[in-house]
Structure 1
């Protein structure tokens, strides 16, 4: 009898092997008549899986009846660990992709055309507002001014002589007025030339850091064409394009979580601006968060970031690790709980409905009650009704967890 009991696992394996051989033999016998379409093959697969479940169930029932008839054949209790199910508060955060952006940017642009004689900055250089960025070649302007100065000298002489003649009642008033007008017109042209000559210098419109140099010494600049770009490094922002489904969730001045994966930086900061329009192309709206001063020196513009927006919040929810949730071939999810029956502890398969999940933990919407003893370590390989022994060190469920918007 002891020898037979020792060979019980081998007998179980042999039984299952025989069943599998029978199924395979039947399958080969019917191979010629098997359906060929996708729908028919799927239906046949579901049928075979159902037959396998029924055969497995019959084997388990036979083993249970054998153990009742002869207790010496009862399997030994399996040692498992458990945790007692409780409730906790949970937050659901929607994750939105974002970018680090300078709060202020500006372009240094010339007002007149000209060849760049000197460029004073390179990309990455610090710069202050009003500093000389570049000097343009205004040789044509200087030549024009010299010509105007000659014309102005002649016009002044003509004007002064006509004025003296007019005072002596010699000549006509028209000649006097024409000379005066010509002189004043040339003076205005000289002033305009001087103003234009002063525009040969291009100055920085903003304090910060030179982000990019577009033109180099020797290249020709045109009015309104940027020579270099400047970003303000004193203030940075996190800018995210949030889907319109979060419009009611994002609140001005409410804190959100920010993470910069490249640097491993995480912080919480209030929302400073919410876009007033939704982009029709991707159905998103803009959300801005100011970077706290202690992180500005570590971050750089255009770094990728992630923003976590509170999407759901609830109290008294049951949550378990997804490692303890198993799945049938038909998709049904189940766990094993420890129950006492006739003075013995057995594992009971309990079907559950799962909800949202995060960090490998899932909400249990139905199937488990508070106080149930959820089998954790040792749950894999258990069968319904299998005798178990509980570990003396039960695992404790954490008090809080985050839950994402992924449906489990």
Structure 2
């Protein structure tokens, strides 16, 4: 193109000389042609620069940048999620076994107690007086019985006298045993280790059976019950490992197992109840809290999986982009695949990929088939 410029200038010069041969006219013409030559040379440089950019792109130095992931076979699990409610293994509303006035409360709200510790004692003055009277009567009845027994063994006295003395002694012994049992029932003890969560009565008030006086719970052990569809019944077994999470405590995850599967399918909801048990050493998990149970229903020890988001659809099916070598450069390749199930934003690919293939996981929306790419491996 540079050769054309002088020829064009010369032709213009000779054409002009035929009409105007004066030096002034020729100088003006020359100045104008030089200006045109400068503009043309500038345009030539711009075109050459653009051609150089195109050549560089064709040579692959300005490819689309993508991030790829090398796939490999690895274990893949699928879980279905069931929502359950937390309960404590040991929790109870405690009431007295007999009527009586509360004499003393030995614990406070929030206090930890051991099994057998006294929580509340009722007024036992009447029972204690009755026990004293019975003991005095029993002491006399025992002496009479022993005397009548000795006489009876010597064939002195009648059998009736002996039997009456024996019956009186045994009757008082039984009465004393009953009174002692009533005395024991007037003392409310902790049935298990735990925390006194609430106290519903005050000293001096009347207590009666069936009316709770305190609420005791043990937060160290929890159980969770959840209802699952009967369609999953063949996929769950006692002892199966599961994971439990809590929406209110996202950082807490418990690994446990199914401890019980119900024996009854609800005819209305077509669900069955499962139960899991677990320790709660931190005490953070509370009764009635919502729990999510992740129950495994599929496992493939050698699965190829890809991020679910990179999968696309067209009229031919599901596809993704891999990295391929073509003429010593890396290009995007459109690959159709057959997928399995998905979990946690990853999808199993059952056909179309093999170990070592590189799939594009970032920049996949910017590429098309056979376009050159600049690849970073994740």
Q: TM-score surpassing 0.5? A: yes
Q: Is the 8 A contact 2:69 2:361 kept in 1?
A: no
Compared CA separation, residues 229 and 347, structure 1 to 2 (3 A): same
Partner of 1:363: 348
Per the TM alignment, residue 298 of structure 1 is displaced from its structure 2 partner at its CA by 4.6
Per the TM alignment, residue 144 of structure 1 is displaced from its structure 2 partner at its CA by 8.5
The answer to whether the aligner puts 1:108 opposite 2:94 as a matched pair is: yes
**1:388 aligned residue (355, 371, 376):** 371
Partner of 2:65: 80
Unaligned runs of 5+ in 1: 1-70, 160-172, 397-408
The answer to whether the aligner puts 1:284 opposite 2:269 as a matched pair is: no
Q: Is the 8 A contact 1:100 1:305 kept in 2?
A: yes
d(CA) in 1 for partners of 2:232, 2:284: 27
1:6-405 mapped onto 2 (5 Å cutoff): 78-83=63-68, 86-89=71-74, 90-137=76-123, 192=178, 195-233=181-219, 235-241=220-226, 243=228, 244-260=230-246, 262=249, 264-269=251-256, 271=257, 273-280=259-266, 283-291=271-279, 296-302=281-287, 303-327=289-313, 333-339=318-324, 347-368=332-353, 372-382=357-367, 384-385=368-369, 388-393=371-376, 395-396=377-378
Partner of 2:47: none
Per the TM alignment, residue 124 of structure 1 is displaced from its structure 2 partner at its CA by 1.9
What is the DSSP-based 3-state SS (H/G/I as helix, E as strand, rest coil) of the residue aligned with 2:362? Answer: coil
d(CA) in 1 for partners of 2:99, 2:316: 72
Give the count of matched residue pairs: 304
What is the DSSP-based 3-state SS (H/G/I as helix, E as strand, rest coil) of the residue aligned with 1:379? Answer: coil
Compared CA separation, residues 212 and 250, structure 1 to 2 (3 A): farther
Unaligned runs of 5+ in 2: 1-53, 145-157
Compared CA separation, residues 134 and 390, structure 1 to 2 (3 A): same
Q: Deviations over 1:248-298 (max 9, x none)?
A: 4444445433445517233434x372235235266123232332xxx6145
Per the TM alignment, residue 227 of structure 1 is displaced from its structure 2 partner at its CA by 2.0
Q: Is the 8 A contact 1:338 1:347 kept in 2?
A: yes
Per the TM alignment, residue 126 of structure 1 is displaced from its structure 2 partner at its CA by 0.9
d(CA) in 2 for partners of 1:102, 1:331: 54
d(CA) in 2 for partners of 1:336, 1:347: 6
Compared CA separation, residues 272 and 318, structure 1 to 2 (3 A): closer
d(CA) in 2 for partners of 1:392, 1:194: 87
Q: Is the 8 A contact 1:80 1:376 kept in 2?
A: no
Compared CA separation, residues 337 and 264, structure 1 to 2 (3 A): closer
d(CA) in 1 for partners of 2:277, 2:353: 41
Compared CA separation, residues 214 and 248, structure 1 to 2 (3 A): farther
Q: Is the 8 A contact 2:324 2:331 kept in 1?
A: yes
Per the TM alignment, residue 188 of structure 1 is displaced from its structure 2 partner at its CA by 7.0
d(CA) in 2 for partners of 1:265, 1:181: 68
Of structures 1 and 2, the larger Rg is shown by: 2
Whose strand proportion is higher, 1 or 2? 2
Compared CA separation, residues 322 and 181, structure 1 to 2 (3 A): closer
Q: Is the 8 A contact 1:138 1:197 kept in 2?
A: yes
d(CA) in 2 for partners of 1:197, 1:334: 80
d(CA) in 2 for partners of 1:351, 1:204: 67
What is the DSSP-based 3-state SS (H/G/I as helix, E as strand, rest coil) of the residue aligned with 1:296? Answer: coil
Per the TM alignment, residue 247 of structure 1 is displaced from its structure 2 partner at its CA by 3.8
Per the TM alignment, residue 312 of structure 1 is displaced from its structure 2 partner at its CA by 0.9
Q: Is the 8 A contact 2:67 2:375 kept in 1?
A: no
d(CA) in 1 for partners of 2:176, 2:330: 105
Compared CA separation, residues 242 and 182, structure 1 to 2 (3 A): closer
